[in-house]
Amino acid sequence: MMSPILLAYIGIGLMIGLSGIGSAFGVSITGNAAVGALKKNPDAFGNYMVLSALPGTQGLYGFLGYFLLQNYLVADITMFQGAAIFGAGLALGLVCLITAYRQGQVCANGIAGIGAGYDVFGKTLILAVFSELYAIVALAATFMIGRTL
């Protein structure tokens, strides 16, 4: 039988790992789009940089989730606490993985539009925040799960 502390640490690992992978995918997608757009419109680098960095926030949420749950990572943790931390970690990790990837796609389309001469920076930011919202909701759920332990 798996020990509760091991189960909790697996959840923490999934939370940090999956959210980091999602952010790596997202910023890579936007970074590639920015390089392509720079060839057409190099004057909009500031806009490209902001949109390229946006999918990186999900990786930070996974890291923040660890700090929200770290006080419960003790040797005498119960099976209930270990399972709760595992579930919170898995949920936050998966949500951040998917939202960062999809947000990267939204931002990459905005970068391509700006590169083509369209004024879509603000609208792209608004649309990209929609996927960010779900990562924030998952982080809030992790906080609430931590409060019940």
Helices (H), the chain: 4-40, 45-53, 57-69, 79-115, 121-148
Separation CA 116–CA 37 (nearest Å) = 7
Q: What is the DSSP letter of 78?
A: -
Question: Residues 22-34: what's their mean pLDDT?
Answer: 98
Q: By CB neighbour count within 10 A (0-12 exposed, 13-18 middle, 19+ buried), where does 103 fall? A: buried
Q: What is the pLDDT of residues 84-103, one digit of tens each?
A: 999 999 999 999 999 999 99
Q: By CB neighbour count within 10 A (0-12 exposed, 13-18 middle, 19+ buried), where does 53 fall? A: middle
Q: What is the pLDDT of residues 36-87, one digit of tens each?
A: 999 999 999 999 999 999 999 999 999 999 999 999 999 999 999 999 999 9
% of the chain beyond a pLDDT of 70: 100
